[in-house]
């Protein structure tokens, strides 16, 4: 079984500043993926970034990057140059790879507000 | 290329009625996942289906809930005799394939179910 924990229910950041969202996970699987999803007020789930556990290099997507600490089972999201459109709920998620289903396990989310 | 379609977007039912939620996966996708999001919570996995097969229903409540993904037509999540606790957003996601490696799940816009 996998668990994902997000310890920051809410955060805020000034426009153009940098913010880091925390996530820890627990899994007994050796092969797994980690994700950050964004859910704006429209409620559409949007994939922000993903990380394969076997890759040591941290994933980056434009202004979004992760700090993946495998031994510590930590997977934080850094948003640089925050924009008003980044205001949303952010969910950390994991999925194991192998036989069976590839269900995503989500954390409870962090509500991010970008302040003008 | 249309994304994952869900309908209806909003559904209101009285206690004891049946709710039918439909999901049409992206073109070329034959794997469907259903997730439920309770207020102020992350998404929780319910069921994983391939065409005409239920692969993993470990997250589905044992009573009143059922899912299908027929050879032709959309996937259906059916909730019989709804109760107020069923009020939630129900998301469908589809992927190209599910074994051997992880394939991204693309989410639909969700169906918001309200039970009066």
User: How much is the pLDDT for A99?
Assistant: 58
Is the Cβ pair B102, A91 closer than 8 Å? no
pLDDT score of A31: 85
pLDDT > 80? residue B2: no
Do the Cβ atoms of A44 and B33 come within 8 Å?
no
Closest CA relative to residue A39, chosen from A101, A111, A114, A116? A111
Q: What pLDDT shows up at residue A24?
A: 98
Q: Provide the percentage of residues in chain A whose pLDDT is more than 70.
A: 97
Query: How far, CA to CA in Å, does A85 sit from each of A57, A115, B64?
Result: 27, 10, 39
A42 touches chain B (CB under 8 A): yes
Token pair of B86, please? 């069923």
Query: Is some CB atom of chain B closer than 8 A to the CB atom of A44?
Result: yes
pLDDT at A79 over 80: yes
Range with top average pLDDT, A5-14, A41-50, A90-99: A5-14
Task: Using the CB atoms, write b or e for B7-26: b if 16+ within 10 Å.
Answer: eeeebebeeeeebebbbbbb
């Amino acid at each position: 079984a996998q668990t994902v924990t997000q310890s920051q229910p809410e955060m805020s950041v000034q426009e153009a500043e940098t913010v880091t969202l925390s996530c820890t996970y627990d899994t007994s699987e050796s092969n797994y993926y980690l994700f950050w999803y964004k859910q704006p007020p429209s409620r559409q789930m949007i994939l922000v970034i993903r990380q394969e556990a076997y890759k040591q290099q941290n994933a980056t997507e434009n202004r979004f990057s992760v700090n993946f600490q495998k031994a510590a089972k930590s997977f934080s999201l850094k948003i640089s140059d925050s924009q008003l459109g980044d205001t949303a709920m952010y969910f950390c998620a994991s999925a194991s790879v192998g036989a069976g289903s590839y269900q995503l396990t989500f954390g409870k989310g962090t509500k991010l507000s970008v302040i003008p | 290329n249309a994304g994952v379609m869900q309908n209806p977007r909003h559904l209101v039912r009285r206690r004891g009625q049946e709710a039918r939620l439909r999901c049409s996966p992206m073109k070329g996708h034959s794997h469907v996942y259903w997730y439920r999001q309770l207020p102020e919570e992350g998404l929780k996995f319910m069921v994983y289906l391939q065409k005409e097969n239920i692969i993993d229903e470990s997250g589905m409540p044992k009573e009143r809930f059922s899912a299908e993904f027929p050879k032709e037509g959309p996937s259906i999540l059916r909730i019989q005799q709804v109760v107020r606790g069923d009020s939630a957003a129900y998301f469908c996601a589809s992927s190209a394939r599910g074994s051997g490696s992880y394939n991204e799940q693309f989410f639909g816009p969700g169906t918001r179910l309200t039970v009066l």
